[in-house]
Chain A
Amino acid sequence: MSIALFDEIRIYYGSDKLATIFRDMVDNNVEEALKSLNQRNLQFPSLFVLHNEINNIGLNERLNNRNKYALDLINQVLADEELDSDRLQSGNIQDNLAAARWILESGYSEDGLSDEFDQVLDTSAIVLCKLYNDRSCLRTVENLIFDRHRKGSYTYDLTWVFFETLNPQNLNTLANRLRSANPKDVELARKFLNFIPDIDNRSNDARKQHQIASRWINRNQNFLYFTGSSNQQTIDPLRYAVSLEAKYLQRPAGGIMAEQSRALRKEEVTYLDNFNKLDDDVKLLLSNCSDYLCRSDRYKWSKWLHSPLEKQIEMAERMVGNQND
């Protein structure tokens, strides 16, 4: 797609020049200025640079839907008022979604333009992920978090919305950061993946750390759930944990936690009730045993799960004993 006129001016001559040229264009030919502003391929940073001029001249109502939504978001954020989710969701859903995606995706490359600009980007990510449950932007959000961490800039809101939205089955993209050539990326990835055993802050072996993380994620991703923990709540938050119940029944954690009574079969509910009466170390033993059996011999696993709890424990202990011999 060709570059829009205002983007070209901003990129080659700077933001101040764009504002000057825009004012001149409005004075001479307002229709031409509006046409350039409403160009389909315009990038969000140019609209952001011109938001004061657009407000002052009063062109808001003549903007296309995308620009109207973006300008309203800019104005709300910069007014330093509490953001209104109803206002941000009023109008056509598809238009709003497209506008919020446009802000984030076309604004991403200019992250750091100003604090206010970054705040608008962050808000657009929150709108997409939390108001519209749109996960398609998570890759961009992740990139922003890691880029900003490299620069030592603000990641707080993006990190919050990222983990609030991320499906634990997609943790491999974070694991891949363990192989980054940039030590800041590795440091942050380790911090985020600290719930994985053997992710060692002191290890210099990036390849090995990546292998450990990937293997663990692949093995446990179905049984992981988001704990909701964050740096606002605690020291070294463990953002994900393995649901022992899910691993024991070999069911996805999401199903177990959100729809326990609806998604599980009657006998599974009984198994789970009995399982939850056990001590934590026995639960761990049985969930690991269940996982191992299910992977190696599904028939044997099913037989084991249907056997009395005492038999299950006996067999699990025997298996551990055999492994230790």
Chain B
Amino acid sequence: MIRINGNPVDSSILGQYGTNTVEGKTLSILMTSSQVYNYSSLNELKFELTLRRSIVNAAKDLNRSRMDFLVFRKSRCNPEFWYRTGEGGFELKSGVKPSDAIKDIYINSSKYGTECATAMVIVYYKALVDVLPEALFNRMFPRIYLMNWQHLDNDMGIVDYMRVADYLPGDCRYFKNPDVDPLKPEWQGENVFLLENGLYYGHGIGITSGDRIIEALNRRRRRGSTISAYLLPSAKRMNFKYLSSQYYSFSPGSREDYYSINTLISN
């Protein structure tokens, strides 16, 4: 159930979105859930729906890109925008616009290669670049360091919830491979985004079902292992409410150069 300012939301809102869209699927899950989802305004709810769609789109775009799956030791990035650190992460170069650097990962994707957790963080940033006004994005994320789940910017507000009532498109989840082949530790698990069609995107594995991901991980287990990979119940989510408040409190004068949330929703 969805409540806005304490009032239940009726199903007419679903009409604004197609039933098979990220927004439609998300709304449908939220509305039929036994859990109460509270929002302070309709805009806050719409912002979350938009950002979830942006996450799913950024994940699909990264899947179509030519960014390689590489372990940190072999990772690579475009030196025009990023400095590759000794531990294999990518640090934004000084004097470079954060939004340009994130976009470059998608534009010059063949110049990049990293592992699955960092790919998830890249998706998050790209989703934000596509939704937030450029000036706001660059103000909120002036220093970006891409390296798995370390060095995350607090403003993204990513929280790993141990359990959630419902899994929604745009949630980031984790398939764990507890008995991984010790000589292939990069297959100790797979970070994925849940898409609107129930499939998952994982960097290095592509877009596929949960069963296929488990099969892929099981093929990289210690020889003779009988312990299967499995999907953890946890889910990572950005702080949609905080990001929404940043979006709506951003000076309109600065925002008009960029597409507004209404344009995004109608696309």
Contacts and interface: CB of A to CB of B under 8 A. Distances in A.
B183 A123 contact: yes
Contact of A157 (B73, B174, B232): B73
Interface residues of B, number: 33
B176 A126 contact: no
A216 interface: no
A154 B176 CA distance: 23
Interface of B: 71-73, 85-88, 115-117, 148-150, 152, 158-160, 174, 176, 178, 181-185, 188-189, 191, 222-223, 232, 234, 236
B182 A153 contact: no
Contacts of B73: 115, 119, 154, 156-157
Nearest to A126: B182
Interface string A61-99: 000000000000000000000111110100000000000
13 contacts: A82-B183, A83-B183, A88-B183, A123-B183, A129-B182, A131-B182, A155-B87, A157-B185, A161-B185, A232-B116, A232-B189, A233-B188, A234-B236
A160 interface: yes
> Chain A contact residues (Cβ within 8 angstroms of B): what range?
20 to 34
A232 B117 contact: yes
B186 to A, nearest CB: 8
Interface of A: 82-86, 88, 115, 119, 123, 126, 129-131, 151-157, 160-161, 164, 228, 230-235
B260 to A, nearest CB: 31
Given A126-B185, A234-B160, 13 more contacts: A85-B222, A86-B223, A88-B183, A119-B73, A123-B183, A126-B182, A130-B182, A156-B72, A156-B88, A228-B178, A232-B149, A232-B191, A233-B149
B148 A231 contact: yes
A234 B234 CA distance: 10
Contacts of A233: 117, 149, 174, 176, 188-189, 191, 232
A232 B87 CA distance: 14
Contacts of B72: 154, 156
Among A123, A151, A233, residue most surrounded by chain B Cβ atoms (within 10 Å): A233
B79 to A, nearest CB: 17
Given A155-B87, A156-B72, A156-B87, A232 B115 contact: yes
A231 B183 CA distance: 18
Contacts of B191: 232-233
B181 A231 contact: no
A85 B181 contact: yes
Contacts of A160: 185, 188
Nearest to B74: A80
Given A160-B188, A228-B176, A234 B183 contact: no
